[in-house]
Structure 1
Amino acid sequence: MISAIVHELEPVLLVGGGKYRKSGLKAAEGRFRRIVVADGGADWLLSRGYEPDMVIGDLDSISDSALTRLGPERVHRVDEQDSTDFEKCLVRIDAPLVLGAGFLGGRVDHELAALHVLAALPAQRCVLIGRDDIVFLAPPEMRLDLARGTRVSLFPLGQVRAKSQGLRWEVNEVRFDTSSKIGTSNEALGPVELSVEAANMLVILPRSALGLALEALSTSGGGWPPRKAS
């Protein structure tokens, strides 16, 4: 089992090396206390006047000047190549919530890998922030105080049943599966209540709903346990 190296009682910002980091950083402003960076994202962050608390990754894209500036106490090398830098970071953060910027958009394979990690590490609540959307793994139960007309998309990463109240097209007892039934482009009629039976459902909302999503995740009670190793 991998032990956390970043411990925080408040949300943590995790910055990656992908597109739309600037818009993600702006949206997250004022909502985090510490910053963790995935590998080469450190150079970008430093160039914008931010000091990361920790850099985690295989360090194949960070500059020598950034490594020198940060010093060994703020750099954690992970040499294995079986996981992405996003996963290397997320599994080593112990915080009530992680805000991820720089993981959505750009290369499709990188984006899909990041979404996979959300489901692979369900015990760590994490919201990925893109240019237009936010994405997070649905907890067992949650209430989103959304305005009428807000776009709500549900996308399964495996088999999962869901129940809802407050959606234009309710999903009560619908059996979702990536290959047969998804729930994209739904719409809120007002506050939405959602419950799912397994840690396999992504919720996709407009980026403007970030604050409401963070509030909902912070007040949703019990979360998912870690997945058992196969």
Structure 2
Amino acid sequence: MIESIVETQHFVTILGPSDPRSEDVDEALRLAPVLVAADGAASHALAMGRLPDAVIGDLDSIPPDLARDLPADRLHRIDEQDTTDFEKCLVRIRAPLCLAVGFTGRRLDHELAVYSALVRHSARPCLVLGTEDVAFAAPARLALDLEPGTRVSLFPLSPLRGWSEGLRWPIGAVPFDPAGRIGTSNEATGPVALSFERPGMLVILPRATLPQAMAALAAATGASRGR
């Protein structure tokens, strides 16, 4: 069993290295005030005047002079090379919910690895913020309070089936498969209910629905923000 490094009843922001925008980080920290930097993303945090509560990774991307600016007890070196720095963070955070910022828009292989980790560790609720979208691994059941016309994309990372209410094109008869049938650009007709037979589905929504997405994922996983 992997030992936790960060344990909190607050929501957590995980900061990545893909040139995070300061406005995105500010928004995330208003919602998830504990800051964990994935390895070299600590440099972005410090440049924004933010001191991470923890820096987790193999620490090969942090310049020595920057590392000296960080309290030693906040640096956590994980030497294994079988996982990305994002996954190293995700599995060592015990919190009700995480927001991941700075993991989209640059290297596609790194971004795909983030989505793979979300699905593999779907018991650890985490939403990835992009400039246009928010994405997260679907729990077994999910209820989204969406306005009619809202884009709802479903992208399977493994073969599975699901069920829906409130989608313009219901998914009950769809055999989802990443190499076959996918579910991009569906549309809400109002509040949406989804369920899936197993983990493996990504839900992708417009960025403006972040509050609804957070509320839905928190409710589905029993997450609540600590005081």
Report the TM-score, using the length of structure 2 for normalisation.
Answer: 0.94
Taking the TM superposition and a 5 Å limit, the aligned residue runs for 1:9-20 are: 9-20=9-20
Distance 1:168 1:43, change over 3 A: same
- Who is 1:152 aligned against? 152
Tell me which residue corresponds to 2:72: 72
1:96 and 2:78 matched: no
- Equivalent residue of 2:116, what SS? helix
Q: Distance in 1 between matches of 2:82 and 2:8?
A: 26
Number of aligned positions between the proteins: 223
Matching of residue 185 in structure 1 with residue 148 in structure 2: no
**1:45–1:51 Cα contact (<8 Å) kept:** yes
C-alpha separation between the residues in 1 aligned to 2:151 and 2:20? 21
User: Counterparts of 1:163-182 in structure 2 under 5 Å?
Assistant: 163-182=163-182
Between stretches 45-54 and 23-32, larger displacement belongs to 23-32
The one-letter code sitting in structure 2 at the alignment partner of 1:10 is: H
Deviations, residues 144-190 of structure 1 (Å, cap 9, x unaligned): 00111111000000011110000111111422111111000001111
Structure 1 position 68, deviation (Å): 1.2
AA of the residue aligned to 2:116: H
Shift >4 Å, 4+ stretches? none
Mapped partners of 2:53, 2:74: distance in 1: 6
Letter in 1 for 2:112: L
Indicate the residue corresponding to 1:118 in structure 2: 118
**Residues 13-32 of structure 1 correspond to what in structure 2 (within 5 A)?**
13-32=13-32
Is the Cα contact below 8 Å between 1:104 and 1:111 reproduced in 2? yes
The answer to whether the 8 Å contact 1:20/1:130 transfers is no
Q: Which moved more, 1:86-95 or 1:14-23?
A: 14-23
8 Å CA contact retained: 2:141, 2:195: yes
**Which residue identity is paired with 1:151?**
R
| 5+ long unaligned stretches in structure 1 | 224-230
Unpaired segments ≥5 residues, structure 2: none
**213-222 vs 175-184, greater mean Cα deviation:** 213-222
Distance 2:140 2:82 in 1: 29
Q: Identity rate of aligned residues, in percent?
A: 49
**Matched residue SS, 2:220:** coil
